[in-house]
Amino acid sequence: MFNPLGTTPKGDRFPLRRPVIQQQPTLALKQIQVSVNPRKYFDAAEMEELTASVREKGVIQPVIVRTLADGGFSLVAGGRRYKAALAAHGEDYEIPVVVRDIDEVEAKQLAIIENIQRADMSPAEEAIAAAEQVGLCKGDRDEVARIFGWSRATLDKRLALMNCSTAVLDALSTRQILLGHAELLAALPKETQDKLLPVIIKEGKAVAEVKKTIEQVACSLAAAIFDKADCAGCPHNSSTQGEMFGESIGTGNCTNRTCYNEKTEKMLEVTATGLRDEYPVVRIVRAGDNHTRVQLSVDGPKGVGEEQAKACHACQNYGAAVSGLPDSIGKVYRGQCFDTVCMLNSYPNST
């Protein structure tokens, strides 16, 4: 039973034991080196509110610092509180701290984890932090997901945002574009992203508008003439994007037109090369070419007859055409005469 007089049951006095309150360690702001913060964007209105609160009540929650080899201290977590205290009270302000004896790698991990658990981090900041943590964990994504308290799918979605250009990630961090914009842009080559981004911001284009624009310039993988094995996991494959993001264009499309065209051209050349042992002339026919050709026929209204056909087969103007035209890309036309003047003058019935 508690005795307010502080005496034993026999009446002997004894000193009351009171809890010992340890003083919170503090450091002057000027004693703390500011390291890189995983959070790049600080909302101006929110920072103003926090600064006003710190000016009136001071910093309540300690920031985390680590000791340095030279005896100094480096900020690990609490960048917003540090900035607010500096703005409110100046560099001599004594801010409460928790000192951790950790190395630089551990400090980075702690800073990332502390920030990733904050609800106000942008998806872009989360993506950058997640990518850095994957590096620190030597590529072990399952371990990173465990550390962050994320599902593996959530981690993969954030890492997929790293296909965005730096400018797009910055725009997402500073709330100039929405996550849907960034997800759609991530499917495009970075140089294309950087061309579209200013237009999206300036004209305030909705996510649906951007989606429609990308769909119009995408290339159908079903119509591709090249081997698509490498396309399966490509970030420019809309099927991959559909698995990762909430916003994506229809599946089965390539959003990297440059790569698509390069592979198409390479396949056209491979096809043409394979025909050159069989024909003296092999041409890839493209839109705007001035080359004319006539299909050589033995019989029919435009037939040249069997004897002339044999002579034509030995002619240096006899060969094959490989179509580079959009509606017949990759199609091979054999038995072509590329000297139409000869055909028309010598064999009127072929006109």
Average pLDDT of the residues of the chain:
85
**Which candidate, 101, 97, 98, 125, places its Cα nearest to that of 112?**
125
Position 38 in a domain: yes
User: What is the DSSP code string of 240-300?
Assistant: HHHHH-SS---SSEES-HHHHHHHHHHHHHHHHHHHTTT-SEEEEE-TT-----EE-BSSS
Among 64, 87, 103, identify where a domain stops: 103
> Do the Cβ atoms of 229 and 174 come closer than 8 Å?
no
How far is the C-alpha of 59 from the C-alpha of 95, rounded, in Å? Answer: 7
Going residue by residue through the chain, which has 351 residues, state the pLDDT in tens, using 9 for 90 and above: 434 444 445 555 545 566 555 678 999 999 999 876 777 777 788 889 999 999 999 999 999 999 998 889 999 988 889 999 999 999 999 999 999 988 888 888 888 887 777 656 889 988 998 998 899 889 999 999 998 888 999 999 999 999 999 999 999 998 999 999 999 999 899 999 999 999 999 999 999 999 999 988 899 899 999 999 988 888 888 888 777 787 778 778 899 999 999 999 999 999 999 999 999 999 999 887 776 788 877 777 777 777 787 888 888 888 899 999 988 999 999 988 887 777 655 554 444
H-run or E-run covering 28: strand 26-28
pLDDT of residue 339: 79
How far is the C-alpha of 174 from the C-alpha of 166, rounded, in Å? Answer: 12
Among 59, 76, 103, identify where a domain stops: 103
User: What is the DSSP code string of 152-205?
Assistant: HHHHHHHHHGGGS-HHHHHHHHTTSS-HHHHHHHTTS-HHHHHHHHHHHHHHT-
Structural domain of residue 286, as residue ranges?
276-350
How far is the C-alpha of 344 from the C-alpha of 325, rounded, in Å? Answer: 25
Position 139 in a domain: no
> Do the Cβ atoms of 324 and 268 come closer than 8 Å?
yes
Strand order in the sheet with 332-337: 281-285, 318-323, 332-337, 294-295
Query: What pTM value is reported for the model?
Result: 0.67
Q: What is the CATH number of the domain that holds 46?
A: 3.90.1530.30
Position 6 in a domain: no
How far is the C-alpha of 37 from the C-alpha of 50, rounded, in Å? Answer: 18
pLDDT of residue 152: 92
Position 1 in a domain: no
pLDDT of residue 293: 81
Among 103, 134, 169, identify where a domain stops: 103
Cβ count within 10 A of residue 173: 21
Q: Which amino acid, 154?
A: T
Q: Which amino acid, 317?
A: N
Considering its fold, how many domains does the chain have in total?
A: 2
Percentage of the chain beyond pLDDT 90 is: 48
pLDDT of residue 351: 44
Position 34 in a domain: yes
Position 166 in a domain: no
DSSP helix/strand/coil, 318: strand
Position 314 in a domain: yes
Position 172 in a domain: no
